[in-house]
Structure 1
């Protein structure tokens, strides 16, 4: 007997989908929750977004922003099809109601129409994004023409205790006295080109040039031909790694946790024989210094490392230590060393 995931199931519409979801608990592992959303979007696109949101909202840990972000990040034609949701529902007791041949034909036709509409919409969206990304890239190059090399006395660099590593400086639009970090493309038409820019203001506020492509974008903190490649999230983290932890390795920053995977895959394709290390963040505390329910930095770093069979290095923190990345770890270690040295001086006295 074939499994539900491989055998043909009768066509479904949103009413049938609603019935299936009633057999699935939204209070499940995050991975399964995401897979259910992927299955819904693969079949119905945004037409079933509200239905997916209502089902997700039945979970005790439901967060509207998390749902909105996750739904937006799911591609309509991803790796998970509606068959996955059907299988889960059937395994949990759902049974298809009897259906006439006419209803089956109607639903099959509606399903085919949805697929054709999605294909057309995806093609139009891809073209729109390509045009938008080109415009933003051209804007980025114009900004770089008027930028100057950043000096090591920039307030952000002083606070982080790092050098400028080739980033630029300027005042652009609302970004005053900002560091300007180019984001280079790693694949496709944008490979080697500036996709967009990151602006880091003196107080540490970070913003990207609006509308630019982020996926697969990176900035090389330092490059040493033939050396291992360390991939991290932020610029300050990468600079700290290059200066103190991995001075003999190439270091590139991917800008955020969600971009670690595409950057890691791109570098693996370009340098298949080179050792790659994912230096992830450890988001063990939230903004209020409470333990996080989901450690995004650690999860995304492990995901990227597993995908390309890379090594992984994540800074560890005591439960009450405030910090998440290698720059935080370095400064905490420096403070601890100063305290140890001071304590030793007190113990030794004037001897």
Structure 2
């Protein structure tokens, strides 16, 4: 049996079909998406039929879901075809190939080189589109904040969380934001116009655009970079649901509460309510990094400008989530900038409840 590394050097679609026989399409969605990512990474759109055919064996199979997931997967991602074959080998696949002629080996080599070239071109195209979208969403964010929102002191969400508003605004009226595939964003406002939009809305399968519907009073939190440039917004409704503008940048962005010059400590946390609570209790400036996965990028960016600050990462304790990402990623970010980690202690509350 060949090793997985050797087997993957010239992988064919037939090899892929053989491997997929050992994978259960009724697996978790995370594993299902991982299979799609590995296939698209190696074969590009030429691998869709194999992914779709395999997915059709699932009790949950919906052609529209497969197409939607495939479109969302970018070629050249971190999950490769090796992951797919490793999963299959773990389930019993033995990868063996009969000896082939030098001519056939040359053909396979040429095919593999062509796929690599196409993959590289697709990655460059995807990155260019991503950067273009980032610029479109940044401009659109400024328009939304300037024209459709007003400063807010409090609302139902803030009152529930018992925190004040620091740099937030809210929508003055309901608005629908639409993102077209040709790098354009637009709005629909007015009760009559919004009602007509939903009346004319195509079904999901035939729709070539995405949209978000924001209500009057929904909170708007500006997301900036280290140079204070606005790139995106996070919208928080009364129920606490948090949304970002599609196609917009998020990595390395944050919302800043307070003034950096007010003390030599900088708190870094995930969500707005946590950051506002920290600032109200301590007067420390606080960077709201949005989620655990963004803590490292935000911390390293801020450390470049705030060299003398002591960073304190006020971690979300995700004790019921595998690996506790809130704490583990806070520890990683703290190690990168020489900071400290503070973790909430609910033991007294738990003991009392027990």
Q: TM-score, normalized by length of structure 1?
A: 0.65
Task: Establish whether residue 97 from structure 1 lines up as the match of residue 97 from structure 2.
Answer: yes
Report the equivalent of 2:297. 262
Distance (whole Å) between structure 2 residues aligned to residue 272 and residue 37 of structure 1:
43
Q: How many equivalent pairs are there?
A: 304
Distance (whole Å) between structure 1 residues aligned to residue 72 and residue 267 of structure 2:
26
Match of 2:233 among 171, 184, 197: 197
Report the equivalent of 1:238. 275
Report the equivalent of 1:177. 217
Q: Is the CA contact 1:176–1:201 (under 8 Å) kept in the aligned structure 2?
A: no
Q: Is the CA contact 1:162–1:239 (under 8 Å) kept in the aligned structure 2?
A: yes
> Post-superposition shift, 1:30?
11
Q: Is the CA contact 1:76–1:118 (under 8 Å) kept in the aligned structure 2?
A: yes
Going from structure 1 to structure 2, the CA distance change for 1:118 and 1:192 (only over 3 Å counts) comes to farther
1:124-182 CA-to-partner distances (Å, cap 9, x unmatched) read 2222222222122112222332443221x322211110011121233251430232210
Distance (whole Å) between structure 2 residues aligned to residue 271 and residue 69 of structure 1:
42
Within-5 A mapping of 1:159-178: 159-171=160-172, 173=175, 174-178=214-218
Task: Establish whether residue 139 from structure 1 lines up as the match of residue 179 from structure 2.
Answer: no
- Structure 2 runs not aligned, ≥5 long: 176-213
Q: In structure 2, the residue corresponding to 1:169 is in which secondary structure?
A: strand
Distance (whole Å) between structure 1 residues aligned to residue 346 and residue 312 of structure 2:
24
Q: TM-score, normalized by length of structure 2?
A: 0.65
User: What is the RMSD computed on CA atoms of the aligned residues?
Assistant: 4.6
Q: In structure 2, the residue corresponding to 1:162 is in which secondary structure?
A: coil
Report the equivalent of 2:120. 119
1:65-118 CA-to-partner distances (Å, cap 9, x unmatched) read x99999888653345554566567668662321133333223322222222222
- Structure 1 runs not aligned, ≥5 long: 285-294, 319-328, 340-351
Q: Is the CA contact 1:10–1:104 (under 8 Å) kept in the aligned structure 2?
A: no
Distance (whole Å) between structure 1 residues aligned to residue 135 and residue 88 of structure 2:
44
Q: Is the CA contact 1:21–1:89 (under 8 Å) kept in the aligned structure 2?
A: yes
Match of 2:256 among 217, 220, 240: 220
Q: Is the CA contact 1:265–1:308 (under 8 Å) kept in the aligned structure 2?
A: no
Within-5 A mapping of 1:313-324: 313-315=342-344
Report the equivalent of 1:149. 151
> Post-superposition shift, 1:275?
3.3
Q: Is the CA contact 1:278–1:305 (under 8 Å) kept in the aligned structure 2?
A: no
Distance (whole Å) between structure 2 residues aligned to residue 312 and residue 184 of structure 1:
24
Report the equivalent of 2:41. 42
Q: Is the CA contact 2:171–2:219 (under 8 Å) kept in the aligned structure 1?
A: yes
Q: In structure 1, the residue corresponding to 2:240 is in which secondary structure?
A: coil
1:219-262 CA-to-partner distances (Å, cap 9, x unmatched) read 01234346344332221121122223xx2543211223443443
Distance (whole Å) between structure 2 residues aligned to residue 200 and residue 259 of structure 1:
18
